[in-house]
Structure 1
Amino acid sequence: MLAAERYDRIIELVNIKGSIRVSELSEHCRVTEETIRRDLDRLEQAGRLRRSHGGAVSMKEVQPEIPYRIRETSQALEKKRIAEAALALIEDGDRILLDASTTAGYMAVNMPDMPLTILTNSIQVATELSTREKIEVISTGGQLAARSLSFVGPLAERSLETYHVDKLFLSCKGVHLESGTISETNELQARLKQKMVGIADQVILLADSSKFGIRAFARVTGLEAVHTIITDQICSEEQSFLYGAYHLKIKTV
């Protein structure tokens, strides 16, 4: 297979699958993984795909994050009610991890000044909590994602590996019951949230009703990793399924 033919085959496979690993492309094209990596570098430079960790992602699948200030006003009333219910689960001395969601931002706004340790990748959350005297705030650091006002990337992921928390308050782009997954818009956010789930005793999902039925591009984790869902409303069929399949606590507000 000529190089030009191989490039076309790679693009075809990436677009069909959405994302694909180097090892799989190597098998399809019958060349070494090192050759595939060089091919992917060239194709990314040509703007035909995007490199990801261990493979490539279709340009058709890449979705820009909606800016924080726009997300902040979407479903704002529901998010504020969910944030209020989430705050009721916090106790003195808790070690808490807040993601960079707008719902976590609303939690920070109304967070009581009590003895807590709060780890976050959110600039908004860290800034809001900077005025609380009794709360110790720890930022992950990392690569700045300007649209979400958050830190992501390898440095943020490695930072999380040094901690353990009692409770993770996590939001997402989509909650898909048929596949049993929660998902995010892009891979960087999804990878970081996977790390968050891995260091928490309790995972509390903050998801307004608009998130249900959505299967976004990058998988975060399965619903079996979630202990509690706080939402504004959920239909009886969805609630019955979640109780039956995952034995979750579901709190509606």
Structure 2
Amino acid sequence: MLVAERQKKIVEIVNERLSIRVTELSKIFSVTEETIRRDLEKLEKENLLMRSHGGAVSIEEDKGETSYLEREVTNAAEKKAIAAVAVCSIEPGDQIVLDASTTAWYVAKELPDMPLTVLTNSIKVAIELSKKEQIKVISTGGTLLPQSLSYVGPLAERSLSMYHVNKAFLSCKGVHLEKGLSDLNESQALLKKQMMEISDEIILMVDSSKFGTRAFSQIFPITKADCIITDSNLDVEIIKQLEEKQINVVLANKI
């Protein structure tokens, strides 16, 4: 197979599957992993795909990315209540990370102007915090996902690896007691995983509709979360199981 033909096929496979590993592409085309990495580097430069840790992800209109406007109005009351509770656990002098979820944006809106360092991959969060003089904002940079107004990709991941924070405030698409936390978009999942790795304390902010569901890309086992802030609609049995896993569960009342 000619190089150009192989690279064309790689793009087709990535767009069909949304993401794929270098090792799998190496087996499919019977070439070395180094050859595949060179292919991916060339294809990324041509803006045909985006490289991720150990593979590549599609940059076609992302089936996993819901628009920010749509997410803003979905379970908005629950998200605002959860954010208000999350803000109460943030103290002056903290160094925190906020992801690109709408709940994190509500946290940014609710935060008082106090000495604080915030690391984020969200444009919306950064803009909101720019109005507060005492808060130092650090953006990860990276590849922009227009639907979620967030940065992802290798540059964003390398940026996160340079820092350490004492608290991470994250959300995700799926929360499963056995299979763990997951997200629709692989590049977002990789970034959330990195956020969890650089933080001393992990606070998961998810409304009750996320429980019992699984999304495309795994992030971490649920036991990695130190605290889960959710709404009062969460089933009592699920709360009991979470507490048995030594996870602190905080219920937020709608504002």
Taking structure 2 as the reference length, what is the TM-score of the superposition? 0.81
- Hey, what does 1:225 align to over in structure 2? 224
CA RMSD of aligned residues (A): 3.6
Q: Label 1:38 to 1:227 Cα distance change in 2 as closer, same or farther (>3 A).
A: same
Q: What is the percent sequence identity of the aligned residues?
A: 56
Which of 1 and 2 has greater Rg?
A: 1
The alpha-carbon deviation at position 69 of structure 1 amounts to 1.1
- Hey, what does 2:204 align to over in structure 1? 205
Instruction: Return the alpha-carbon distance in structure 2 between the equivalents of residues 203 and 29 of structure 1.
Output: 41
Residues 39-77 of structure 1, C-alpha deviations (whole Å, 9 max, x = no match) = 999xx9xxxxx7764346799xx6230111110010000
Q: Label 1:151 to 1:247 Cα distance change in 2 as closer, same or farther (>3 A).
A: same
Equivalent runs, 1:26-105 vs 2, <5 Å? 26=26, 32-33=32-33, 53=52, 54-55=54-55, 63-105=63-105
Residues 123-182 of structure 1, C-alpha deviations (whole Å, 9 max, x = no match) = 1111111111211111111111111111111111111111111100000111111313x1
Instruction: Return the alpha-carbon distance in structure 2 between the equivalents of residues 57 and 152 of structure 1.
Output: 11
The alpha-carbon deviation at position 23 of structure 1 amounts to 2.9
Could you tell me whether the CA contact under 8 Å between 2:51 and 2:154 is conserved in 1? Answer: no
Name the amino acid aligned to 1:167.
K
SS of alignment partner, residue 70 of structure 2: helix
Q: Label 1:27 to 1:66 Cα distance change in 2 as closer, same or farther (>3 A).
A: closer
Name the amino acid aligned to 2:123.
I
- Hey, what does 2:138 align to over in structure 1? 138
Instruction: Return the alpha-carbon distance in structure 2 between the equivalents of residues 108 and 82 of structure 1.
Output: 12
Name the amino acid aligned to 1:234.
L
The alpha-carbon deviation at position 79 of structure 1 amounts to 0.2
In structure 2, the gaps of 5 or more residues are none
Residues 175-231 of structure 1, C-alpha deviations (whole Å, 9 max, x = no match) = 111313x11111111111111011100000000011111111111111121100000
- Hey, what does 1:110 align to over in structure 2? 110
In structure 1, the gaps of 5 or more residues are 45-49
Name the amino acid aligned to 1:222.
P
Q: Label 1:29 to 1:113 Cα distance change in 2 as closer, same or farther (>3 A).
A: closer
Instruction: Return the alpha-carbon distance in structure 2 between the equivalents of residues 146 and 14 of structure 1.
Output: 19
SS of alignment partner, residue 85 of structure 2: helix
Instruction: Return the alpha-carbon distance in structure 1 between the equivalents of residues 159 and 186 of structure 2.
Output: 18
The alpha-carbon deviation at position 252 of structure 1 amounts to 0.7
Q: What is the total number of aligned residue pairs between the two structures?
A: 248
Name the amino acid aligned to 2:133.
E
- Hey, what does 2:174 align to over in structure 1? 174
SS of alignment partner, residue 159 of structure 1: helix
Name the amino acid aligned to 1:210.
S
Equivalent runs, 1:236-247 vs 2, <5 Å? 236-244=236-244, 246-247=245-246
Q: Label 1:32 to 1:212 Cα distance change in 2 as closer, same or farther (>3 A).
A: same
Pairing 1:188–2:187 present: yes
Name the amino acid aligned to 1:217.
F
Taking structure 1 as the reference length, what is the TM-score of the superposition? 0.81
The alpha-carbon deviation at position 95 of structure 1 amounts to 0.6
